[in-house]
Amino acid sequence: MILEHLAASLSVANLLLALAGVTAGTVIGALPGLTATMAIAVLTPLTFTLEPSSALIALGAIYTGGIYGGCYAAILINTPGTPSSIATTLDGFPMAKRGDGDLALTLAVLASVFGGIVGALALLFISPLLAKVALAFGPVEYFWLAILGLTLVAALSEGSLIKGLIGCCFGLLIALVGTAIVGGDTRFVFGTTTLLGGVDVIVGLIGLFCIPVLIDLVATPEAHLKMSSDVRGFRLKEALSIAWKSKWNMLRSSALGTIIGILPAAGGPVASLIAYAEARRASKRPQNFGKGEPDGLIASESANNATVGGGLIPTLTLGIPGTPADAIILGALLVHGVRIGPNLFSNQSSIVYTFMFGLIIATIMMLPVGLILGRYFYRSIIAIPKAILAPGIAFLTILGTYAVHNNIYEVWLMLGLGGVGWILQKMGVPPAPIVLGLVLGPIAEQGFVQAWLIGNATGNVLGMFFGRPISIAIICVALLVLFYPAITARFARRVPDEGA
């Protein structure tokens, strides 16, 4: 029975759709400002004339390609192409700066394919079981999950923890701008209506990461990236060797990505940040993280692509989309007459299982597509003269930011944030902790306020925050992330620095 669905997904038409979808998604995801969600939203109408299973395979391929494509801009120009690749910039760009950009891109595609397959296999085999996990998460669990993510500030602070903490607070304050999630107050809008909707994460990402790079790019005649002169090709053998050594990291990050992907509204950015924090905690070389450590890149990329399958679990089994992209896929499913719910797997199994196999095939196809496109992007960034590269990046930042909400004021905001980000960087505050606060702030605030309200209503605020099993587990992990390096430093001898 299952083999029939596998055979159906392997039809020539489906394979071509998966290939085209992955390629289109990767290219769109690579452009700063254009997200996987936008790629799916734009291309969904093209699938309405297709068979339901073929249409879903195309959408799944676009989604997985879009999430992966974000790593190109993250690695090559220090700007996350999509919010899911925030953590990829932390080690990907330093790798590219030292001449290992091609290796970083190959590692990224290997990790993305692995993570994508783990997520898709979870979707295929243990969907109903994992859907229960999503239902067990309440506001307080989301709050602690955000706190767990915020503990990453210690890893992102590049030398001064206090300055990293200040940067994180700036990010949290930026996230407060606009209409309050709970209560509806307007906060820090300075009397304008343009800030009522708040500061979009993508606007913040482009401004804080890309503009400082651009400002420093034009200041010197030196090349943007180094290129290793002695190595040619994809460096696949070297990447496979590193990936094999990092297999547990990849498996752990993929599992984390799948589980966090299941949680509505958490998604790729949270998954990649938490997987990065966990990889750093478990690493024998935590001091190398943020300086071009392949394990950091692998953790981020495997986790964010695992959220694709993870996010589809509550979408298909409960009708609860985990991310905006899942919501669009849910809409497409309904347009094609697929009824979501617990009976989906028995009543319309042929469509669903063909789609799941198609997603796995699309993820596998990402390997050749990613290797070829990655090499092309890398060579282009290296070969393009600075007089074209700098205005090209400037143009894409403006166009990409404008395209988020078709709003020119957001482009001004992006530029302003970029200027402030550059000044803060010169003061020793890196952009990553600011973005960490910006991404996790709304999740933390909403979870905290809702949990506090429920706790008050039930007369047990402390029990609400500290008495639930999942919360206790997350608190323990957060404490472990914070204090594990200090504890192990006391009791164990660290391995000496190894060149990555």
Catalog residues that contact other proteins under the rule CB under 8 A: 34, 38, 42, 159-160, 162-163, 165-166, 169-170, 172-173, 176, 180, 182-185, 187-188, 214-221, 386-392, 394-396, 398-399, 402-403, 406, 408, 411-412, 415, 419, 424, 426-429, 441, 444-445, 448-449, 452-453
Token pair 């996230």: residue:
175
Integer CA distances (angstroms), 341 to 141, 307, 453, in order = 25, 20, 31
Kindly state the smallest distance separating residue 53's Cβ from other proteins, in Å.
26
Q: How far apart (Å, rounded) are the C-alpha atoms in residues 349 and 345?
A: 5
Closer residue to other proteins (CB): 395 or 466: 395
Nearer to other proteins, 291 or 386 (CB): 386
Please, which residue, 6 or 165, has the CB nearer to other proteins? Answer: 165
Comparison of 158 and 278: residue with beta carbon closer to other proteins: 158
Least separation in angstroms between residue 2's CB and other proteins is 38
175 or 481: whose CB is closer to other proteins?
175
Q: Shortest distance, CB of residue 166 to other proteins, whole angstroms?
A: 5
Smaller CB distance to other proteins: residue 104 or 172? 172
Instruction: Give whichever of 170 and 378 is closer to other proteins, judged by the CB atom.
Output: 170
List, in sequence order, every residue forming a beta bridge with 178; answer none if it has no partner: 187
Burial 458-467, CB ≥16 within 10 A → b, else e: eeeeeebbee
Least distance in angstroms from the C-beta of 7 to other proteins: 34
Please, which residue, 412 or 483, has the CB nearer to other proteins?
412
For residue 353, what are the CA distances in angstroms to 126, 131, 139? 13, 17, 33
- Looking at the Cβ atoms of 253 and 450, the one nearer to other proteins is 450
Nearest approach in angstroms of CB 426 to other proteins is 6
User: How do beta strands 178-179 and 186-187 pair?
Assistant: antiparallel
The smaller minimum CB distance to other proteins, of residues 30 and 371, is found at 30
Closest separation in Å from C-beta 23 to other proteins: 15
Minimum distance from residue 384 beta carbon to other proteins (Å): 9
Q: In angstroms, what is the minimal distance from the CB of 461 to other proteins?
A: 13
We find the least distance from the C-beta atom of residue 198 to other proteins, in angstroms, to be 13
CB of 258 to other proteins, least distance (A): 30
**For other proteins, which is the closer residue by CB, 13 or 388?**
388
Q: Nearest approach, Cβ of 458 to other proteins (angstroms)?
A: 17
